[in-house]
Chains A and B, each alone.
Chain A
Amino acid sequence: MQKVTMRVQRFNPEKETEPHFESYDVEAEPMDRVLDLLHKVKWYQDPSLALRRSCAHGICGSDAMLINGVNGLACKVLVKDLKQPITVEPIRGLPLIRDLIVDMEPFFAGYKAVMPWLIPDESRMEPERERLQSPEERERFDDTTKCILCAACTTSCPIFWADEEYVGPAAIVNAHRFIFDSRDGGGRERLEILSQKDGAFKCRTVFNCTDACPRGIKVTKAIQEVKRAALYNTT
Chain B
Amino acid sequence: MGVRYHNYDAVIVGSGGAGLSAALEAGTRCKTAVVSKLYPTRSHTGAAQGGMCAALANVEDDSWEWHAFDTVKGSDFLADQDAVDIMCKEAVDSVLALERWGLPFNRTPEGRIDQRRFGGHTRNHGEAPVKRACYAADRTGHMILQTLFQQCNKAGVEFYNEFFVLDLLLIDGACAGIIAYELATGELHVFRSKTVLFATGGYGKIFKITSNAHTLTGDGPGVIYGKGLPLEDMEFFQFHPTGLYGLGILLSEAARGEGAILRNSDGERFMERYAPTIKDLAPRDMVSRAEFFEIREGRGAGPKKDYILLDLTEVGEEVIEKKLPDITEFARTYLGVDPVKEPVPIVPTAHYAMGGIPTNVQAEVRSDNKDGIVQGLYAAGECACVSVHGANRLGTNSLLDIVVFGRRGGMSMGEFASTHDMPDVPDDIHEATEKKLADLFEGGGPEYSAAIREKLQVEMMDKASVVRTDESLGEMQRILEGLRDRYKECRVRDRNKIFNTELVEHLELGFMLDMAEALVISAKARTESRGGHYREDHTMREDDHWLKHSFISKTADGDTRLAYRDVVMGRYEPVERKY
Contact with B along A69-104 (1 / 0, CB 8 A): 000000010100000000000000000011101001
- A60 and B150 form a contact (CB under 8 A): no
Asked if A1 is at the interface of the complex by the 8 Å CB criterion, the answer is: no
Contact with B along A53-71 (1 / 0, CB 8 A): 1111111111000000000
Among the 9-residue stretches A124-132, A158-166, A192-200, A202-210, the one with 4 or more Cβ atoms under 8 Å from chain B is: A124-132
Decide yes or no: A51 and B450 within 8 Å by CB, A76-B333, A141-B104 being known contacts.
Answer: no
B-facing residues in A36-56 (Cβ within 8 Å)? 42-44, 47-48, 50-56
- B497 and A14 form a contact (CB under 8 A): yes
Of B46, B113, B153, which is within 8 A of A148 by CB?
A: B46
B512 to chain A, nearest CB (A): 14
Asked if B493 is at the interface of the complex by the 8 Å CB criterion, the answer is: yes
B496 to chain A, nearest CB (A): 5
Asked if A211 is at the interface of the complex by the 8 Å CB criterion, the answer is: no
- B499 and A50 form a contact (CB under 8 A): yes
- B153 and A60 form a contact (CB under 8 A): no
Q: Give the bracket for the number of chain A residues in contact with chain B.
A: 35 or more
A198–B150 CA distance with the chains assembled, in angstroms: 22
**Can you offer 18 A-B residue contacts whose CB atoms are under 8 A?**
A42-B450, A43-B450, A47-B493, A48-B502, A54-B38, A54-B42, A57-B249, A57-B334, A59-B46, A60-B213, A78-B333, A78-B334, A118-B102, A142-B104, A146-B139, A147-B146, A148-B142, A181-B102
A138–B110 CA distance with the chains assembled, in angstroms: 12
A-facing residues in B206-263 (Cβ within 8 Å)? 213-215, 247, 249
- B448 and A149 form a contact (CB under 8 A): no
- A50 and B501 form a contact (CB under 8 A): yes
- Chain A residues with CB below 8 A from B136, complex form: 145
Decide yes or no: A112 and B153 within 8 Å by CB, A31-B336, A54-B38, A58-B333 being known contacts.
Answer: yes
- Chain A residues with CB below 8 A from B451, complex form: 44
A118–B153 CA distance with the chains assembled, in angstroms: 11
- Chain A residues with CB below 8 A from B109, complex form: 134-135
- A47 and B334 form a contact (CB under 8 A): no
- Chain B residues with CB below 8 A from A12, complex form: 496
The B contact surface, by secondary structure, is: loop
A178–B150 CA distance with the chains assembled, in angstroms: 11
Asked if B304 is at the interface of the complex by the 8 Å CB criterion, the answer is: no
A208 to chain B, nearest CB (A): 21
Contact with A along B418-460 (1 / 0, CB 8 A): 0000000000000000000000000000001011000000000
Of A31, A59, A132, A137, which is within 8 A of B47 by CB?
A: A59
Asked if A218 is at the interface of the complex by the 8 Å CB criterion, the answer is: no
- Chain A residues with CB below 8 A from B107, complex form: 133-135, 137-138
Decide yes or no: A31 and B334 within 8 Å by CB, A55-B44, A149-B41 being known contacts.
Answer: yes
A129–B335 CA distance with the chains assembled, in angstroms: 42
B96 to chain A, nearest CB (A): 6
- B100 and A120 form a contact (CB under 8 A): yes
Identify the closest chain B residue to A101 (Cβ). Answer: B499
- A44 and B249 form a contact (CB under 8 A): no
Asked if B540 is at the interface of the complex by the 8 Å CB criterion, the answer is: no
B43 to chain A, nearest CB (A): 7
A8–B326 CA distance with the chains assembled, in angstroms: 30
Asked if B160 is at the interface of the complex by the 8 Å CB criterion, the answer is: no
- A117 and B104 form a contact (CB under 8 A): no
- A181 and B104 form a contact (CB under 8 A): yes
- B333 and A61 form a contact (CB under 8 A): no
Contact with A along B284-313 (1 / 0, CB 8 A): 000000000000000000000000000000
A58–B334 CA distance with the chains assembled, in angstroms: 11
Decide yes or no: A98 and B498 within 8 Å by CB, A31-B336, A53-B214, A145-B143 being known contacts.
Answer: yes
Asked if A7 is at the interface of the complex by the 8 Å CB criterion, the answer is: no
A37 to chain B, nearest CB (A): 14
A48–B497 CA distance with the chains assembled, in angstroms: 11
Identify the closest chain A residue to B506 (Cβ). Answer: A47
Asked if B184 is at the interface of the complex by the 8 Å CB criterion, the answer is: yes
A-facing residues in B27-74 (Cβ within 8 Å)? 38-39, 41-44, 46-47, 56
The list of the 4 closest CB pairs from A to B, nearest first, reads A118-B102, A43-B450, A132-B111, A117-B150
- A60 and B47 form a contact (CB under 8 A): yes
A42 to chain B, nearest CB (A): 8
- B111 and A118 form a contact (CB under 8 A): no
A43–B334 CA distance with the chains assembled, in angstroms: 22
Decide yes or no: A13 and B113 within 8 Å by CB, A31-B336, A59-B142 being known contacts.
Answer: no
B391 to chain A, nearest CB (A): 27
A55–B139 CA distance with the chains assembled, in angstroms: 14
- A131 and B100 form a contact (CB under 8 A): yes
Identify the closest chain A residue to B246 (Cβ). Answer: A31
- A129 and B96 form a contact (CB under 8 A): yes
A235 to chain B, nearest CB (A): 15
- A13 and B330 form a contact (CB under 8 A): no
Contact with B along A153-185 (1 / 0, CB 8 A): 000000000000000000000000010010110
- A178 and B498 form a contact (CB under 8 A): no
Contact with A along B311-339 (1 / 0, CB 8 A): 00000000000000010001001111000
- B496 and A48 form a contact (CB under 8 A): yes
Counting chain B CB atoms within 10 Å of each CB, the highest count among A51, A58, A117, A126 belongs to: A117
- A131 and B44 form a contact (CB under 8 A): no
Asked if B112 is at the interface of the complex by the 8 Å CB criterion, the answer is: yes
- A48 and B494 form a contact (CB under 8 A): yes
A175 to chain B, nearest CB (A): 12
Asked if B101 is at the interface of the complex by the 8 Å CB criterion, the answer is: yes
Of A43, A60, A130, which is within 8 A of B113 by CB?
A: A130
Of A76, A120, A126, A132, which is within 8 A of B112 by CB?
A: A132
- A97 and B38 form a contact (CB under 8 A): no
Identify the closest chain A residue to B151 (Cβ). Answer: A117
Decide yes or no: A56 and B334 within 8 Å by CB, A43-B450, A138-B104 being known contacts.
Answer: no
A61–B38 CA distance with the chains assembled, in angstroms: 11
B213 to chain A, nearest CB (A): 4
Decide yes or no: A117 and B153 within 8 Å by CB, A54-B38, A54-B44, A130-B112 being known contacts.
Answer: yes
